[in-house]
Structure 1
């Protein structure tokens, strides 16, 4: 039997989702908790790999187990067992072929940015003191919707087979306390969102014109794009699946 588990976490204390040889990860922490409570070795397959320090408002993973599970009770026990910065939202049975990573049809991220110094956002948002031209940044973000190859925003030395992604939405929205960049695509490359935001900031700070984004995209060269912004401002906010995964 296969089960999906939906969770959220604050990533400051973890070296990303995926297990690491000498660092604490979300996957390791959750696998150890499940294995202890279920008295069986449990291995998880996540919907994606968030980098060190990145947060998730919603992430799914799947695991297999031979017997039926009282899902609400397991959720309750897990939340009592796990540290405070990881929370389980739900656990539910899916078809045996359902896959947390390969069946996802869309993923959404947010990047939080503040322009006034705030102790409440020091671990959860990127602080930029200089004025930003958000109108220019949104004009530049439109170029993202017109392209499919995002090699220029991919982490170097990655093992991906294709750099093609379909970005559906990319826009900055300005609130009273923070500015948030929203982006949705069918898939993302490693470090892609942080590199996109860093490139948009070059335009917002008036160091580069709006049209520079087109040049960066056409270059397919990571060195042509802006620097990656800090991980602490990045949130995976939604992973979408087709209804067919449900029983």
Structure 2
């Protein structure tokens, strides 16, 4: 049994988990394994297969972890030879035969980069600090309320920093509810930009359901990244070629995004400048 760390840009995908007729990260991994003759055409998934988490549509990953039975020659660089550029295996570890990538993860960590111009750093930190520890997060998830479903989770780490016009959250927990991180981002942004009082955090953490107009929506998925899944006693060996491939692929993506942002800023500033002159002429 071998476990792989996989990085991917989640924007082209309809989430991680395999679904009929749409592109997913999981099916992309399985397609690569079929091309490598590791997975038989008629097989639904590799023997012993499991993944650390099921990221939503648009969500990316640094350290998604998948494990399954495979031949010794299947290294990250061999895996990458049949994967698209925006999905890269970059480390691996031999694991026990009974290893389960989902259930054996002691914790998972996410970063969320949320556009929030004008956010007050101190208010953002104060709101985020209140979320650390064990709470019932029923008001911060899209999961339907069900007496049999436990919405209590422990945020082992909950910090936020202001980086330019972004709030950058670092969250680690024993488990995450559906849309929890994105709703935390939305809540903290509302407090940090003055749209909601700091006391809103305590009200949201009260298990009493929020009325519809007070509910916390999920912020966009594109800034969310799964950055770690921790397994006791498992050490992942980096693959130099896999890491270099990540550096190249995501370096190009960064350059493209920076160019797009600069172009958008140029268009906006020039139209605003013309609009301003037009107003002055009319006066």
| TM above 0.5 | yes
TM-score in terms of structure 1 length: 0.84
User: 1:47 aligned to 2:48?
Assistant: no
Q: Select 2:188's aligned residue among 192, 200, 205.
A: 200
In structure 2, which of residues 194, 217, 223 is the aligned counterpart of residue 233 of structure 1? 223
Structure 2: tracts of 5 or more residues without a match? 237-283
Which has the greater radius of gyration? 2
How far residue 158 of structure 1 moved from its aligned partner, in angstroms, is 7.8
Q: What is aligned with 2:201?
A: 213
> Match of 1:81?
82
How many Å separate the matches in 2 of 1:158 and 1:236? 25
Partner of 2:8: 9
User: C-alpha separation between the residues in 2 aligned to 1:183 and 1:36?
Assistant: 37
Secondary structure of residue in 1 paired with 2:198: coil
Kept in 2, the 8 Å contact 1:169–1:183? The answer is yes
**CA gap 1:215/1:158 in 2 versus in 1, 3 angstroms:** closer
Please state if 1:151 is matched with 2:138: yes
- Aligned match of 1:179 in 161, 167, 174? 167
Counterparts of 1:22-41 in structure 2 under 5 Å?
22-41=21-40
Could you list the runs of 5+ residues in structure 1 that have no partner in the other structure?
114-126
CA positional deviation for 1:143: 1.7
SS across alignment from 1:6: strand
Is the partner of 2:136 in helix, strand or coil? coil
1:118: which partner in 2? Answer: none
Count of aligned positions: 227
**Is the 8 Å Cα contact of residues 116 and 189 (structure 2) preserved in structure 1?**
no
Give a deviation string over 1:10-30, Cα, whole Å, max 9, x none: 111001110111211000000
Counterpart-to-counterpart distance in 2, 1:69 and 1:158: 45
Conserved 8 A contact 1:33-1:81: yes
Q: CA offsets, 1:81-133, max 9 Å, x none?
A: 211100001233210111100000111111113xxxxxxxxxxxxx334x112
Distance in 2, matches of 1:36 and 1:85, equals: 17
State the alpha-carbon separation in 2 of the partners of residues 15 and 55 from structure 1.
11
Deviation, 1:188, is 0.3
Q: Normalising by the residue count of structure 2, what TM-score does the alignment of the two structures yield? A: 0.74
CA distance in 2 between counterparts of 1:27 and 1:34 reads 11
